[in-house]
Amino acid sequence: MHRAALHQQLAPEAWHLPGLSPSNKLICALILLASLAAILETEPTLRRLVPRLFSSLEVVFVTLFILEYLLRLYSVGEDPRYRGIGGRIRYVFSIWALIDLVAILPFFLGFLTHSNAFLLRLLRILRILRLSRLGRFSRAWSALAEALKARIHELLLSVGVAGLLLLFSSACLYVVEAADQPEAFGSVPRALWWSIATLTTVGYGDVTPITALGKVFAGMTAVAGIGIIAMPTGILAAAFSDAFQNKDNMQGE
Amino acid sequence: MHRAALHQQLAPEAWHLPGLSPSNKLICALILLASLAAILETEPTLRRLVPRLFSSLEVVFVTLFILEYLLRLYSVGEDPRYRGIGGRIRYVFSIWALIDLVAILPFFLGFLTHSNAFLLRLLRILRILRLSRLGRFSRAWSALAEALKARIHELLLSVGVAGLLLLFSSACLYVVEAADQPEAFGSVPRALWWSIATLTTVGYGDVTPITALGKVFAGMTAVAGIGIIAMPTGILAAAFSDAFQNKDNMQGE
Amino acid sequence: MHRAALHQQLAPEAWHLPGLSPSNKLICALILLASLAAILETEPTLRRLVPRLFSSLEVVFVTLFILEYLLRLYSVGEDPRYRGIGGRIRYVFSIWALIDLVAILPFFLGFLTHSNAFLLRLLRILRILRLSRLGRFSRAWSALAEALKARIHELLLSVGVAGLLLLFSSACLYVVEAADQPEAFGSVPRALWWSIATLTTVGYGDVTPITALGKVFAGMTAVAGIGIIAMPTGILAAAFSDAFQNKDNMQGE
Amino acid sequence: MHRAALHQQLAPEAWHLPGLSPSNKLICALILLASLAAILETEPTLRRLVPRLFSSLEVVFVTLFILEYLLRLYSVGEDPRYRGIGGRIRYVFSIWALIDLVAILPFFLGFLTHSNAFLLRLLRILRILRLSRLGRFSRAWSALAEALKARIHELLLSVGVAGLLLLFSSACLYVVEAADQPEAFGSVPRALWWSIATLTTVGYGDVTPITALGKVFAGMTAVAGIGIIAMPTGILAAAFSDAFQNKDNMQGE
């Protein structure tokens, strides 16, 4: 196979058709499979059931990822930025090549605890983001990103207001409930756990105020929580509405 | 009664007035009653109270549905696509006729367990969707479907982002909480249960993190949950806004 | 005081200035106070603390409401529809006069249980809706009502979809969890309680699935719950956006 | 340093460049640090770990805030409104100068209980709002405030409807559940705690109805809760959409 054809197959930005090249589709599928295996391997019941399956699978996946890494290293010479030995070294230290490396390394780092190795293996999913960047969703992505950027100050402002509400509601509950429930409301950082569960309307219910005044403040916090949801939703809705209309107008011209 | 009149009464697309024909209104009511009976029959208290009522009702409903099925089979000959013996066979294997059949069969399949028969009987509700397809809501339906279709990439993208968040938050909680709560966070699939309850802001509270670091990650997940709700809501609001305006403009011209 | 002046003071639609007349403002305040007293009276601690206060207050409120009722009956003669004896009888049986009567009667019906009398007394709050109908909020009210009416089919459709989701998710949980948790999921009506708490993202957590398959269905239900919130919110946002713009355009012309 | 330069540094409205002056940036950082210290000091574990750290830090912060207060008092003479002795007295009693004072005083009020002193120290955060008023977010702030003001009647109306729903749902649950759960539903004010948790979709689950009728009302309340969230979100979305478009139009001209 010619190096130019290989480069076209592997580099998403070099592919001449819309969507992903067949090789990159295969690699995406491999990454998803490897991630799924990494996720399932954490379940002790499955590990006991098929003790050798997951380590064998990992050997297969890592072998394929090493092969892919070497092919990328070879074919990237087609890109004028990474030509020659110096270019290859620059490529190895580029952000995406480092992430590609991270997808391989955990296998060789035997001294890692199980859960740390797991996190590194999960980073492989990030590689999909790179490969699919130029796929069918790039227009949708840019529309959403544009809308977010145009209203970033409004969104940050509502985040700031939410932060202040979070702080004041946990401070109120700390002052009111600390004496009765020292474990749950004995300090502001502890009350924050309750406060965040209430303002986001998650409401676990593992910690709830028991004094009358505490319940009054909690009720006000819960009502404020609706504002915390309504505010950014409203801003996003307005921002998306603008972004979609601008896009349609541009296409219409 | 003439076959043509019968066909007009039974086939929703053949009815000449807006809305449903009287026969189809009756059939819709029958389906709702039969579904209600199927639902209430699952309640042991009611089954003990009136042991024979539900089985007698089912005999009545199935008899009526068989009659309806045969009348449809007879009158569908008016439709050029299903004329003659061959046309009738084609009709029997069309998707809606099969669903009509599913509404009858559970009664004769005595070997089914109780709960399986129940699910098949609940499928009858799908028949209402078919009958009401051309009813008063078809314009509303097409407006919503159009809006969803126009922004399907943006919606899928936000689903993808939500999926990644789900995965990373459950992975974080697994790494942090597995040692303290092996039953609830002992693997990523187990932690997913907590993660989905938090990101959707349902927040059952049957499983909550107990370590300080776990609570920090959980708080971040809960805050991200607001984004998970705000994102698709904003996209839908913008999409509906566009769809309604386009419709109004078209009517205005 | 002249009957015409009295009529102007009492009938909200006869008042010549924007907002409420002084008399109706006073009556609104009285209604709010009477409702607050009715609410506080339900608390046993307060009833024990000041045993006679609430019954004395109720005597005062009912006396004033009787006075108001009689004055309305006298002054409504100014309205051409309710002139003369026959007109007064028509007035007594008009909807709002009946509600005014309901605000007085519970006091004289000694045979009512405590909690029934309470509900009737709470109906007094409805009177505020009538009195404030022509107040400052009437424009806002008509804008919102108009938007809801314009998109009523879309809203009903999303309610219908929500109802189907509710039914199918509780049916699934019934089939999967009935054997393990007969008390909570032993029938579809029982499973509905869990299903409604999950789809609305309330998530009490008093009942949660414990089987693996049950958790998978529950997770899907929780995700669908986001759609259940996003759908009507998006429709309302689009409908309000249209309604506000139409109003602004009409004012601009 | 000249008094004019000092005034420019300290008064946010006197600064000639966009954003905050270096001095005010430093003061903002100090306020955040002091607030963080006040928050962390409430945690008993940390107080035991480093017993003297927090009181020493507080001495440093208060010294710096006193210095800042005196410099502001000196330099405010540049402002024509606060010139001379009389102007300085007027300044001391202006709202922001009083808040500045509150940031200092708790330190000297030894008779305050710990938690009261904590609340006063948290008020310092309000000072950031003043300092950042003219910062980069002022345009976003005015856009949001304008949108809220334009639709204030619609928002208040939806708050009123929510209040009525809250009242009626807790009244229903009180009537239905009081006999079975006197502790949680024995009065309307007690039932309000459950009602607010349900209507805001927080759903702690510490109190849930147990009777069948109670569950039916609770289900209806939970469904109404979606409207409670959808209504203001929709209004805000429409209001922001209008506000952003008006702003863009004004810039375009």
List of domains in chain A: 3-135 (1.20.120), 143-252 (1.10.287.70)
pLDDT tens-place string over residues C198-236: 999 999 999 999 999 999 999 999 999 999 899 999 999
State the smallest CA–CA distance between residue C84 and chain D in angstroms.
37
Nearest to B175 by CA among D182, A114, A84, C204: A114
What Cα–Cα distance (Å) separates residue B212 from each residue in A148, A195, B188?
A: 32, 15, 19
Tell me whether residues C219 and B115 touch, CB distance under 8 A.
Answer: no
Which of the two residues, C77 and C17, has the higher pLDDT score? C77
Query: With contacts defined as CB-CB under 8 Å, which chain B residues touch C153?
Result: 136-137, 139-140
Tell me whether residues D202 and A204 touch, CB distance under 8 A.
Answer: no
Sequence-distant (≥ 6) Cβ neighbours of residue A94 within 8 angstroms: none
Report the distance separating Cα A124 and Cα A120, nearest Å. 7
Phi-psi region of C228 (alpha: psi -120 to 50; beta: other; left: phi over 0): alpha
What Cα–Cα distance (Å) separates residue B152 from each residue in A135, A136, B148, B159, C234?
A: 15, 11, 6, 10, 15
Cβ contacts from B onto D, under 8 A: 12
Report the distance separating Cα D192 and Cα D197, nearest Å. 8
pLDDT tens-place string over residues A95-113: 888 888 887 887 777 656 6
Decide: B77 and B3 in contact? Cβ < 8 Å. Answer: yes
Which of the two residues, C185 and C243, has the higher pLDDT score? C185
Tell me whether residues B186 and A43 touch, CB distance under 8 A.
Answer: yes
pLDDT confidence tier of residue C2, bands split at 50, 70 and 90: confident
| pLDDT of res. A165 | 93
| pLDDT of res. B95 | 85
Query: With contacts defined as CB-CB under 8 Å, which chain A residues touch B228?
Result: none
| pLDDT of res. B223 | 93
- The shortest CB-CB distance from C196 to any of D202, D219, D233 is to D219
Q: Residue length, chain D?
A: 253
pLDDT tens-place string over residues D209-245: 999 999 999 999 999 999 989 999 999 999 998 888 8
pLDDT tens-place string over residues A57-89: 888 998 999 999 999 999 998 888 898 899 999
pLDDT tens-place string over residues A11-31: 887 887 777 788 888 998 998
- The shortest CB-CB distance from A241 to any of B154, B175, B241 is to B241
Q: How buried is C68 (Cβ within 10 angstroms: 0-12 exposed, 13-18 middle, 19+ buried)?
A: buried
Locate all alpha helices (DSSP H) within chain C, ordered by sequence: 3-10, 22-41, 44-49, 53-75, 84-92, 95-102, 114-122, 124-131, 138-150, 152-177, 182-185, 188-199, 212-252
- The shortest CB-CB distance from A205 to any of C205, C234, C237 is to C205
Q: Which residue of A has its CA nearest to B204?
A: A204
Q: What is the mean predicted confidence (pLDDT) over A215-237?
A: 93
Decide: A192 and A244 in contact? Cβ < 8 Å. Answer: no
Mutation for testing the B interface, residue in A120, A156, A200 having most B CBs under 10 Å: A200
Query: With contacts defined as CB-CB under 8 Å, which chain B residues touch A233?
Result: 229-230, 233-234, 237
Mutation for testing the D interface, residue in C204, C221, C244, C246 having most D CBs under 10 Å: C204
Which of the two residues, A170 and A116, has the higher pLDDT score? A170
Above pLDDT 70, what percent of chain B?
Answer: 92
| pLDDT of res. B206 | 92
Tell me whether residues D178 and C232 touch, CB distance under 8 A.
Answer: no
User: Please, what is the average pLDDT of chain D?
Assistant: 86
Cβ contacts from C onto D, under 8 A: 120
State the smallest CA–CA distance between residue B140 and chain A in angstroms.
20
Six-digit token string for B225: 């949950």
Among the residue ranges A45-54, B30-39, C132-141, the one predicted with the least confidence is C132-141
User: Please, what is the average pLDDT of chain A?
Assistant: 86
User: Please, what is the average pLDDT of chain C?
Assistant: 86
| pLDDT of res. C25 | 87
pLDDT tens-place string over residues C123-152: 888 887 777 655 567 778 888 888 999 899
pLDDT confidence tier of residue C180, bands split at 50, 70 and 90: very high
| pLDDT of res. D115 | 59
Report the distance separating Cα B224 and Cα A200, nearest Å. 9
| pLDDT of res. A204 | 93
Give yes or no for residue C14 having a pLDDT over 90. no
| pLDDT of res. C89 | 92
CA dihedral A10, A16, A20, A21 (to 10 degrees): -50
Nearest to B195 by CA among B158, B225, B156: B225
Give yes or no for residue C114 having a pLDDT over 70. no
Give yes or no for residue A120 having a pLDDT over 80. no
Mutation for testing the A interface, residue in C202, C215, C231, C233 having most A CBs under 10 Å: C233
| pLDDT of res. C135 | 57
The chain D residues in contact with chain B (CB within 8 A) are 201-205, 233-234, 237, 241
Q: Which residue of A has its CA nearest to D140?
A: A154
Give yes or no for residue D112 having a pLDDT over 80. no
Cβ contacts from A onto C, under 8 A: 12
Locate all alpha helices (DSSP H) within A123-187, ordered by sequence: 124-131, 138-150, 152-177, 182-185
Give yes or no for residue A252 having a pLDDT over 60. no
Decide: C95 and C133 in contact? Cβ < 8 Å. Answer: no
pLDDT confidence tier of residue B64, bands split at 50, 70 and 90: very high
| pLDDT of res. C136 | 63
Give yes or no for residue B190 having a pLDDT over 60. yes
Report the distance separating Cα B60 and Cα D145, nearest Å. 63
Coil, strand, or helix at residue B197? helix
The chain C residues in contact with chain D (CB within 8 A) are 39-40, 42-44, 115-116, 118-119, 122, 125, 136-137, 139-141, 143-144, 192-193, 196-197, 200-206, 228-229, 232-233, 235-241, 243-245, 248
State the smallest CA–CA distance between residue B127 and chain C in angstroms.
13
Report the distance separating Cα D242 and Cα D253, nearest Å. 17
pLDDT tens-place string over residues D129-161: 777 655 567 778 888 888 899 899 889 989 988
- The shortest CB-CB distance from B200 to any of C223, C231, C234 is to C223
State the smallest CA–CA distance between residue D115 and chain C in angstroms.
29
Q: Which residue of D has its CA nearest to A176?
A: D115
Give yes or no for residue D64 having a pLDDT over 90. yes
State the smallest CA–CA distance between residue C188 and chain B in angstroms.
6
pLDDT tens-place string over residues C31-83: 889 889 888 988 888 888 987 888 889 889 989 999 999 999 999 988 888 98
Which of the two residues, C141 and B137, has the higher pLDDT score? C141
| pLDDT of res. A115 | 59
Q: What is the mean predicted confidence (pLDDT) over B209-236?
A: 93
What Cα–Cα distance (Å) separates residue C11 from each residue in A69, C7, C82?
A: 83, 6, 13
Query: With contacts defined as CB-CB under 8 Å, which chain C residues touch B206?
Result: 205, 208
- The shortest CB-CB distance from D244 to any of A215, A223, A242 is to A242
State the smallest CA–CA distance between residue B89 and chain C in angstroms.
31
Tell me whether residues D171 and C200 touch, CB distance under 8 A.
Answer: no
Query: With contacts defined as CB-CB under 8 Å, which chain A residues touch B230?
Result: 229, 232-233, 236
Give yes or no for residue D120 having a pLDDT over 80. no
Which of the two residues, C168 and C13, has the higher pLDDT score? C168
- The shortest CB-CB distance from D205 to any of B201, B205, B241 is to B205
Decide: D175 and C115 in contact? Cβ < 8 Å. Answer: yes
| pLDDT of res. C248 | 65
What Cα–Cα distance (Å) separates residue D192 from each residue in A211, C201, D111?
A: 14, 19, 37
Give chains near C: 3+ CB pairs under 8 A.
A, B, D
Query: With contacts defined as CB-CB under 8 Å, which chain C residues touch D153?
Result: 136-137, 139-140
Cβ contacts from A onto D, under 8 A: 121
Tell me whether residues B239 and C234 touch, CB distance under 8 A.
Answer: yes
Tell me whether residues C157 and B136 touch, CB distance under 8 A.
Answer: no
Kind plus residue range of the DSSP H or E element containing B80: none
pLDDT tens-place string over residues D41-63: 888 888 889 878 988 898 899 89
Give chains near B: 3+ CB pairs under 8 A.
A, C, D
Complex prediction ipTM: 0.87
Sequence-distant (≥ 6) Cβ neighbours of residue D18 within 8 angstroms: D136
Q: What is the mean predicted confidence (pLDDT) over C176-181?
A: 92
Mutation for testing the D interface, residue in A233, A236, A245 having most D CBs under 10 Å: A233
pLDDT tens-place string over residues B72-125: 999 988 888 898 899 999 999 988 888 888 878 877 776 566 656 777 778 788
Which of the two residues, A20 and A249, has the higher pLDDT score? A20
pLDDT tens-place string over residues A122-143: 878 878 777 765 556 777 888 8
Q: What is the mean predicted confidence (pLDDT) over A208-236?
A: 93
| pLDDT of res. C173 | 93
Mutation for testing the D interface, residue in A146, A181, A226 having most D CBs under 10 Å: A226
pLDDT confidence tier of residue D111, bands split at 50, 70 and 90: low
Query: With contacts defined as CB-CB under 8 Å, which chain B residues touch A19?
Result: none
| pLDDT of res. D253 | 43
Above pLDDT 90, what percent of chain A?
Answer: 40
Six-digit token string for C223: 């995700």
